Structure 1
Amino acid sequence: MAVEATAGRVTRRRAHTRANLLDAAFAVFAAKGFGRVSIEQVCEAAGYSRGAFYSNFDSLDELFFALYRQRAELIAEQVSAALASDGPDLDVPAAVDRVTGVLLLDRDWLLVKTDFLVHAARDPAVARTLLEHRARLRQAIADRLARHGGNGDTPLPAVPGDAAGAAHAVVAAYDGVTTQLLLDRDVGHARVWLGQLLTALLTEGGTRQ
């Protein structure tokens, strides 16, 4: 029992250390830019040694992907919660309004993600891993959309029959809107624009060729 208790304390301590490293890295990346930050700077910001870093991550790339997973899970859950709030009967405008009202538009995260995108574009191995993470995000969103397919007066034509296509539309619109947001810093306009794009993409008028 003593061994199990000790193991439990070690596991909790390691999880705490990992969480602190992620928080510190996010703050440093947002302030200075990914690619301009060293492992030593992350450790200094978190108050840990290089040993603590390497007991949790092999590299800054791996640390970034842990941050990406956190944000991807948050975005997927935001979509799910927004669509589930009134059951499966939301039409497109109502569903889009719910999603755009809560979707993550944190400028610091967008800065970090954009810096890493440029880094990944120059490294094929990192790019492949980032593409895999983006595919998992789209799949998570597709799963939520399929579960909450609309059946009101304006049904979601891509859900559930083509939830993957709808998820691509959500991620593409999000990418475009957040690029503009990085430049103009106007979150209110970003949410309005995102709503307009998603409504166009997810209704019959927006899907005709």
Structure 2
Amino acid sequence: MGGQGTTGRVTRRRAHTRARLLQAAFSVFAAKGFGRVPIEEVCEAAGYSRGAFYSNFGSLDELFFALYRERADLIAEQVSRALAADGPEPDVPAAVDRVTEVLLLDRDWLLVKTDFLVHAARDPDVARTLLEHRARLRQAIAGRLVRGRTRLPAVLGDADGAAHAVVAAYDGVTAQLLLDRDVTRARAWLGQLLTALLTDGSGTPV
């Protein structure tokens, strides 16, 4: 019994250490960029030693990937919940409002995500995993369009095509957001783009 209790405490402590390292890494990566931050700086920001770092991660790349996966999974879940909040009749403008609110909350995340995209472009293994996460996001969007029997503009083809268009619009708007730092404008612009993509422009599904 005592051994099990000790194991439980060690497991919780290890999870806490890992979480603090990820949180600290997120802050320093957002401020300085991945590739410009040594392990020592992440450890200092988290209040841990290099030993604590290496007991949780084999390298800075591994930590960076864990950080991306954690945030990407959270956002995919938030988008899924936002899309699932509709009633039986699709309300595209309302769904667009909920999704843009989720997707544009955190400029720091956009900085880290952009760093990860550049990193993945140079590493085929990382790129495959990034593509899997982006596919999950598109599947959540396409699935909601299918369940709501949303009528889509012919140019988009099917729900999967519409989901690709939604993600492409998000990528374009967030690239501008990184430069002008105007979250309110970016959210409004993305909402207008998505509403135009998925409706006749008036908010009524085509």
Bigger drift between 41-50 and 26-35 goes to 41-50
Residues 90 and 133 from structure 1, CA distance in 2 versus in 1: closer, same or farther, beyond 3 angstroms? closer
**What SS does structure 1 have at the residue aligned with 2:80?**
helix
For residue 76 of structure 2, what is the amino acid of its counterpart? A
Stretches of structure 2 lacking an aligned partner (at least 5 in a row): 202-206
Offset from partner CA, 1:62-105 (integer Å, 9 cap, x none): 22222222222222232233233342323222221222233343
Give the aligned partner of residue 134 of structure 2. 134
Q: CA deviation at 1:146?
A: 5.4
Offset from partner CA, 1:86-144 (integer Å, 9 cap, x none): 4232322222122223334311111111122222223333333322332333334444x
Q: Is contact 1:92-1:202 (8 Å) kept?
A: yes
Give the aligned partner of residue 182 of structure 1. 178
Q: What is the CA–CA distance in structure 1 between the aligned matches of 2:198 and 2:43, rounded to whole Å?
A: 45
**TM-score, normalising length: structure 2:** 0.83
Stretches of structure 1 lacking an aligned partner (at least 5 in a row): none
**What SS does structure 2 have at the residue aligned with 1:89?**
coil
Match status 1:97 vs 2:93: no
For residue 148 of structure 2, what is the amino acid of its counterpart? G
Q: How many residues align?
A: 198
Give the aligned partner of residue 189 of structure 2. 193
Q: What is the CA–CA distance in structure 1 between the aligned matches of 2:124 and 2:37, rounded to whole Å?
A: 21
Q: CA deviation at 1:44?
A: 1.4
**TM-score, normalising length: structure 1:** 0.82
Match status 1:171 vs 2:164: no
The alignment-based identity, stated in percent, is 82
For residue 57 of structure 1, what is the amino acid of its counterpart? F
Alpha-carbon RMSD:
2.5
Give the aligned partner of residue 65 of structure 2. 65
**What SS does structure 1 have at the residue aligned with 2:57?**
coil
